[in-house]
Amino acid sequence: MLLTGDETRIVSLIRSSFPCAGRTLEETVERAGEGQSVVLFRGGAKGLHEFLLAEAAPDEILALLLNSGKEFLPKTVRLMPRLIFFRVFGERERVIGQIEKDFRGERKRLKSVLAPSGKDIITVCFTAKPLNRPLGINDVMDEVLNVRGASFEKLLNSLRSRALWYFTEGLEDRRWNELEIRIYDSWGDYSGHCERLRTVLDSLDAGMVLGEGWGRDFAHILMAVKVYRLNFYTFLPSARIKEILMGLEYDEAGERLADFDLYSGKEKISWGGVAPKSGGRQDRAALGKSLREKLFSQLQPEEAELLRDLERNIVRRRDPRLLRNDSFNFKNTVSSCKG
């Protein structure tokens, strides 16, 4: 909403009536979420100088201003486009082109969303970042689609119902990667490691777990060990998933917490495939520490702290007297060659 009027009074009223945040464009965009409204004020020759993010729909804000007395009435009100954010991956042009065709969209640049538009225009913005967290301006692609003649709710529901199909359209060969994650733990704390794994996969919006359960693996003939398996579908390359899993294998002190093996069909994805190319022998522990730091840098602060708490709980639950003999023998035998 682009307003003119007694800015001080209007801002004070909106701030006292709804939770609000943001003053600069960057702050506002980075904090904006679903169901919120951005109120802009034009300050004469000074141009736009306040961006107010309110946890309310535009009609709620207008009703507040109309019902609060003449001194709060704006001189003019112009509605900006309503925004929908859509995540794309891989062949982005193919996805955008398909949405453009399906909804008869008109291509524009990102800066056009700051310009007043007709009341029947909805702007679809695109990003490669997960949508379960705030997005910065640099996270949004410069190309947007303006869609005319559709209600916001109808367009949003249509895009949501087709989202998986559009997303798949952008993938290489239009196929997801079907992987298997195997968890090994000498202390048998599989529930703790599953919780850590799910926390990370959900946070990064990396794919879908479609099945899980117990299995057995063999270090040698007649030496069976328990393993927990998860069938995982992802749009990310298997090497990227391997990096995430290796980052989960070590705690902040550099101690090994568990083994997370990754398989694509019958092929085991080796850690050597994600190690930096150099002339010397790679140190697995050093690589794991580096990938742990990379993983934590991609999490939101509250998610990173939750992951640290889960790690500490796992360490506290460990008791050397409860160490499983079969797992212990297996680890000592094959830890140097595991993926």
* Residue labelled with tokens 């520490």: 289
CB atoms within 10 A of CB 326: 13
Q: Are 256 and 249 in contact (CB under 8 A)?
A: yes
pLDDT digits (tens, 9 = 90+) for 277-286: 654 456 888 8
Task: Read off the pLDDT of residues 48-87 as tens digits, 9 standing for 90 and up.
Answer: 566 889 999 888 999 999 999 888 999 988 878 888 999 9
> 72-102: b or e for each residue (b if 16 or more CB lie within 10 Å)?
bebeebeebbbbbbbbbebeeeebbeebbee
> Which band of pLDDT confidence, cut at 50, 70 and 90, is reported for residue 41?
confident
Look at strands 121-127 and 207-220 and give their pairing.
unpaired
Residues ≥6 apart with Cβ < 8 Å to 66:
73
The answer to whether the beta carbons of residues 311 and 251 sit under 8 Å apart is: yes
What pLDDT is recorded for position 65?
93
Quote the strand ranges of 81-170, DSSP E. Answer: 82-87, 106-109, 121-127, 140-148
Contact by Cβ (8 Å): 10, 3: yes
190-204 and 301-317 helices, crossing angle to 10°:
170
Across the range 246-266, mean pLDDT stands at: 91
Phi-psi region of 205 (alpha: psi -120 to 50; beta: other; left: phi over 0): left
Model pLDDT for residues 154-175, shown as the tens digit of each residue:
999 999 999 989 988 888 777 8
Contact between residue 234 and residue 241 where contact means Cβ atoms under 8 Å apart: yes
Q: What residue spans define the domains of the chain?
A: 1-78, 85-175, 177-337
Residue 277 has what DSSP assignment? P
pLDDT-based confidence at residue 338 (cuts at 50, 70, 90): very low
Distance from C-alpha of 187 to C-alpha of 108, rounded to nearest angstrom: 56
Q: What's the CA gap between 187 and 228, in Å, rounded?
A: 13
DSSP bridge pairs for 260:
183
Residue 152 has pLDDT above 60, yes or no: yes
Q: Are strands 37-42 and 20-21 parallel, antiparallel or unpaired?
A: unpaired
Closest CA to 25 of 105, 109, 110: 110
> By C-alpha distance, which of 141, 116, 117 is closest to 128?
141
Please compute, for residue 264, the number of CA atoms within 13 A of its CA located in the half-sphere on the CB side. 12
Residue 139: is its pLDDT beyond 70? Answer: yes
- Look at residue 327 and give its three-state secondary structure: helix
CA gap 1, 59 in Å, rounded: 10
Token pair 């035998």: residue: 333
Max intra-chain CA distance, the chain: 86
Average pLDDT, the chain: 84
Q: Name the phi and psi angles at 46, rounded to 5.
A: -80, -15
pLDDT of 313 strictly over 60 = yes
Q: Give Cα 129 distance to the centre of its chain.
A: 6
**Which run of H or of E encompasses 213?**
strand 207-220
CA distances to 15, 37, 79, 187, 306 from 312, in Å? 41, 40, 50, 14, 10
| Alpha-carbon gap, residue 77 to 72, rounded angstroms | 13
User: Cα(303)–Cα(243) distance, rounded to whole angstroms?
Assistant: 18
